[in-house]
Amino acid sequence: MSEPRTIKKYPNRRLYDTADSRYITLEDIKRLVREGVEFRVMDARSEEDLTRNILLQVISDQEERGEPILSAELLQQIIRFYGDTMQGLITNYLENSLRAFVERMTRINKGRALYTRPDHLGEYLLVDYIGKKRKKV
């Protein structure tokens, strides 16, 4: 497997995609995630891994627009786990629950236009069965 793409975050808060040699936005980060591109965001000075922080910014940005996925009640419940002895278990539980959800939806929606495979969370294929075409979205 190849090395993940490196995105550098500069002190001026700009993100630089070293693979494409250009500055990118949080929208571009969201596109990379949806396309299943492996990447990491590194602080340009300290080399600290900022990937998780940037992904949280993308989620926050998405939650502020349109229809949020994370309700206030859900966020409160997650916050209650911080510092608790169960904190380590909640991550595995949420990941496994999401994986199971996608697997079930994949089975239910089989034959429909938009689906993903459980082993490739976030990799969606748009399938036109009439035109017999597939396109990643």
Encode pLDDT of 45-100 as tens digits. 999 999 999 999 999 999 998 788 899 999 999 999 999 888 889 989 998 998 78
pLDDT by residue (tens digit) across 85-116? 888 899 899 989 987 876 776 666 664 434 45
Out of 64, 99, 115, pick the residue that ends a domain: 64
Q: How far is CA 83 from each of CA 45, 53, 77, 79, 87, rounded to the nearest angstrom?
A: 30, 19, 13, 9, 7
Do 83 and 27 share a structural domain?
no
Do 89 and 38 share a structural domain?
no
Total domains in the chain come to 2
Do 85 and 56 share a structural domain?
no
Cβ neighbour number for residue 29 with a 10 Å cutoff:
22
Domain containing 49 equals 5-64
Place of tokens 């990799």: 123
Do 88 and 53 share a structural domain?
no
Do 115 and 98 share a structural domain?
yes
Higher pLDDT, 131 or 2: 2
Do 86 and 60 share a structural domain?
no
- 44: exposed, middle or buried (Cβ count in 10 Å: 0-12, 13-18, 19+): middle
Do 77 and 100 share a structural domain?
yes
pLDDT band at 2 (very low <50, low <70, confident <90, very high): confident
- pTM for the predicted model, two decimal places: 0.74
